[in-house]
Amino acid sequence: MTKENIVAGTIMITNKAEETFFLVAVEGESNTLPTVEMSGEGKSPLGSIMESLLKHVNVDSESLRLLDLTNIRGNGRNIPLFVFDALEKPADVDTVLTDRSHFAWKKSSDITEILTDWELGGVPIYH
């Protein structure tokens, strides 16, 4: 396994109609989990991914709560995965995106397609 200082994360948000969506990164015709390289500035994995996600989603950081922490494995990589839940419930989830060309909201059925290339583990691995 190769060592990489990458952390992944997503935000789960529910709109006023009670539909739930997950934040994904758009890469050409496909979607993937948002990732960020850990900075050498001493930030924790949690701080690194939270800061990155908040650059692309206009929600109050106080409205995010950590829902799940796991590890994803695949393609010779082990990456911690943080899943946040946003307490805010916008009428239209696209209104909280700051960069619609690189990020989108996908329903849970779509997110399972993204996870098919990864094996989920219960314990995060940090490098």
The pLDDT, as a whole number, for residue 99 is 85
For residue 76, give the CATH number of its domain.
3.90.79.10
Total number of domains constituting the chain: 1
pLDDT tens for residues 5-47? 889 999 999 999 999 999 999 988 888 899 998 766 778 899 8
pLDDT bucket at 96, cuts 50 / 70 / 90: very high
What are the tokens at 28?
Answer: 């050409």
Find the helix or strand (DSSP H, E) in which 54 lies.
helix 45-56
Count of beta carbons in the 10 Å neighbourhood of residue 10: 23
Whole domain around residue 114: which residue ranges?
Answer: 6-121
- Is the pLDDT at 3 greater than 90? The verdict is no
CA 79 to chain centre: 12
Give me the mean pLDDT over the 42-71 stretch. Answer: 91
Domain annotation covers residue 20: yes
Q: HSE of 16 in the Cβ direction (CA atoms, 13 Å)?
A: 5
Domain annotation covers residue 1: no
* Closest residue by Cα to residue 68 from 125, 12, 117: 12
pLDDT bucket at 4, cuts 50 / 70 / 90: low
Domain annotation covers residue 126: no
